[in-house]
Amino acid sequence: MFIVRFIIIINLILNLYSYNDPVIYNNENITLNNRTQQIHTLEVDLEEPGVSITNALSFSKIYGFEKTSVMVKDNGAIAGVNGMFYTMYGHHIGLLVKDKKIVSKANNYTPVVAFLESGETFIGDMNTEVKIKRKDDNNNIIVNTMNDAANDETWVLYSDIYGNSTRITRKSINYVIDDNRVIDKVITTEPVDIPRNGYVLSRVTEDTDKYDLLKVNEIVEIETVYTPDIGTVKEAFQSGGWLVKDSVNVAKDYEPLMGNTRIPNPRTIVGITKDNKLIIKVIDGRQPDYSYGVTGKTCADLMLNEGCINAVYLDGGASSTMVYEGKVVNSPSNKEERKVAHSILIKYETNIINRIFSKIRNFARNFIK
């Protein structure tokens, strides 16, 4: 009996020390170029079952601002960071795919980060085309933009993540689409209601007869084409620019969304390693006695040191925020967490034994420190 108990204890100890947390947080206080830097890192093993990366929008809608810590809590995530760049009204800039559904199209001047159904992670340049497919392929309608303000004489496709209505108050022709069927055609100068889980295809125009193209009860398909063809995209978001490409530091001195990247600033950056580990870093800045901040080229070097083969910027500055296990673990430059329009969340669903091991290991690490 003693031998059996001894073997059980040994096995528990071995399991404890052999179990690797799929989501690891680490904080380093280092000196770079004679300046103190506080670097916060999340290493996420995307090969581990139960781990997933998801997008979060403020209040689960386009427009507006909310704290990353609130998004993490409301979505039951273990960790999260601030994400994409956004406009002054809180509309994210560029490609966003959530739950396999495209929310907005890619722009063509920064790379995207995409998590695929195959389990692979893509970081690279991408174009997107969205079209309303009809039985006669020659009469497909190309969507110019999605879930954004409507310009004259362009096709805009709205989904319910945009809100309750199209918010268009100019003369427009609108096709309400639900379950791949045109259920209504509306010519109006008022906003049109967006059905839950449905769409509205709108065009602001005085010549509504010219664009009277779809019939009520017509069956259509909303098709998204990604170039390059990388497979089924589960989640994706647009970045702020390249840092590392094919294991080479390619950071530029200027990026359109950020300006001069040679100025040390707080940064949020993300990259992928050859073995499909996601590396997310927040480097605090604008606090000289605590953490100075880094340039773009230094960001790239940090990601290369982590083994990243590709890495990109996210939004930074006062927005840079990392949340882990319910707490903001970095020191935002404004001394308090800024509300943002978009965050990137890490979820981890696992069995109770692994959770116990994880808690014990984290306690042991903190105790040793």
* pLDDT tens column, 66-82: 999 999 999 999 999 99
The Cα 254–Cα 261 span in angstroms is 5
State residue 33's pLDDT score. 86
**pLDDT tens-place string over residues 311-334:** 999 999 999 999 999 999 999 999
pTM (predicted TM-score): 0.89
Strand partners, 269: 281, 313
Confidence of residue 200 (pLDDT cuts 50, 70, 90): very high
What percentage of residues in the chain have a pLDDT greater than 70? Answer: 89
The Cα 328–Cα 99 span in angstroms is 26
Residue 2 pLDDT exceeds 80: no
Write out the E strands in 246-285.
Answer: 248-249, 254-255, 259-260, 267-273, 277-283
Q: Which residue in this structure is represented by tokens 């179990």?
A: 19
Residue 24 pLDDT exceeds 50: yes
Q: In angstroms, how far apart are the furthest CA atoms of the chain?
A: 88
Q: Is the peptide bond before 111 cis (omega within 30 degrees of 0)?
A: no
| Across 85-104, average pLDDT | 97
**pLDDT tens-place string over residues 211-237:** 999 999 999 999 999 999 999 999 999
How confident is the prediction for the chain on average, in pLDDT?
A: 92
Residue 281 pLDDT exceeds 90: yes
State residue 18's pLDDT score. 45
Higher pLDDT, 59 or 359: 59
The Cα 127–Cα 131 span in angstroms is 13
Confidence of residue 15 (pLDDT cuts 50, 70, 90): very low
State residue 9's pLDDT score. 52
**pLDDT tens-place string over residues 201-213:** 999 999 999 999 9
Distance between the two ends of the chain, CA-based, in angstroms? Answer: 38
Which of 19-23, 78-82, 158-162, 362-366 shows the lowest per-residue confidence on average (mean pLDDT)? Answer: 362-366
Strand partners, 155: 203
State residue 136's pLDDT score. 76
| Across 31-39, average pLDDT | 94
Higher pLDDT, 24 or 5: 24
Confirm if 124 and 112 have CB atoms less than 8 A apart.
yes
Question: Mutual orientation of helices 352-368 and 2-18 as an angle, nearest 10°?
Answer: 70
DSSP element (H, E) containing 357: helix 352-368
**pLDDT tens-place string over residues 129-184:** 999 999 877 789 999 999 999 999 999 999 999 999 999 999 999 999 999 999 99
